[in-house]
Amino acid sequence: MNPLARYEPLVDDAAAFRAACDRPLPSVVRVNELAASPARVREAFDEGDVPYGPVAWHDGLFRLPDGNPGGNWPYVHGWTHGQEEVSALPGIALDPRPGERVWDACAAPGSKTTQIADAMDDEGTVVANDNNLGRLSALRHNAERLGVTNTIVTNQDARNFSTKPLAFDEFDGALVDAPCSCEGTCRKNPDVVDQWTLDHVHAVAGIQKGILARAVQATRPGGTVVYSTCTFAPEENEAVLDHVLATEDCELVDFDLPLDTVPGVTEWEGETYDESVTRAHRVYPHHNDTGGFFCAKLRVGGDETDVEGVGA
């Protein structure tokens, strides 16, 4: 079964959706503003005869027609980082501030971690966690190349993450860019379509629920948790949100993203979800010439209290 056919009822134009999924994905880099401004990177590309084009919705992203984000000197010097356009959305939604404490629950290989650190001006603390020790080496390499110094790397199962090794008990914000069935990456990884199974969707959804629940528990009252995946499957998106809304003290909040999206769905294959899942954003390849993506923003409930040393 081609899983993309499964999601045609969710899109406005099934033919355009399938055609976009069959096209190769444009290669994109993100400017690391800890090292250089977007204007300086443009100058460097011009000086080095590196062909590039703008990304209309984000000044700090550039498309590289040659498909080789690491094959130029701005990359080597840590001025840019290869990162798919839609991969930048969770960091934008989280909107971390200098001085905050942020948990990236599934961080490797570090694109979003380093984007978060950049947004924080390399101030405060980012705890970058992943359960795969091998993938953490790539995260460490990327953080070092980009000059990130405010990041602690941990190797735990995010579902049971413990703050005991840290000097604090809770975070101002958390990102759960969850492991998923990855159909949204089919433009760069066509094999995911052939390898897809519904059993895997159901299995990984349980993991996603556990990680998101732990992120809410680990975030202070009034703090923000962003949940994202690169799958179209409602079982891994809206159903996960619906579960955590019912079991944890949190709520979905409205937020804007700077490209074309559609709301989350409230019904799928006989299941219904909390109406607030419409505050989440679905990104389809044919709307923005990107990969597929899902992004939601939650506010943690409870009584807000001042946390010493946070948000300074």
Whole-prediction pTM value? 0.96
Using only C-alpha atoms, the chain has a radius of gyration, in whole angstroms, of 19
Residue type, 213: A
pLDDT of residue 307: 43
Mean pLDDT per 10-residue segment, the chain (312 residues)? 93 98 96 98 97 96 94 96 97 98 98 98 98 95 98 98 95 98 96 96 98 98 98 98 98 97 98 98 98 98 59 35
Residue 182 is among the residues annotated as catalytic for this protein:
no
Residues 281 and 285: their CA atoms lie apart, in Å, by: 13
CA atoms within 13 A of residue 45's CA, in its CB half-sphere: 26
- What domains does the chain contain, in order, with CATH numbers? 85-300 (3.40.50.150)
Please report how the helices 238-247 and 198-218 are oriented relative to each other, as an axis angle in degrees rounded to 10.
40
pLDDT of residue 305: 55
Name which of 175, 231, 222, 245 is nearest 201 in CA terms: 231
Residues 150 and 139: their CA atoms lie apart, in Å, by: 13
pLDDT of residue 309: 40
pLDDT of residue 157: 98
CA–centroid distance for 65 within its chain: 23
pLDDT of residue 10: 97
Considering the candidates 182, 230, 250, 295, report the single residue annotated as catalytic: 230
Cβ distance 63 to 54 under 8 Å?
yes
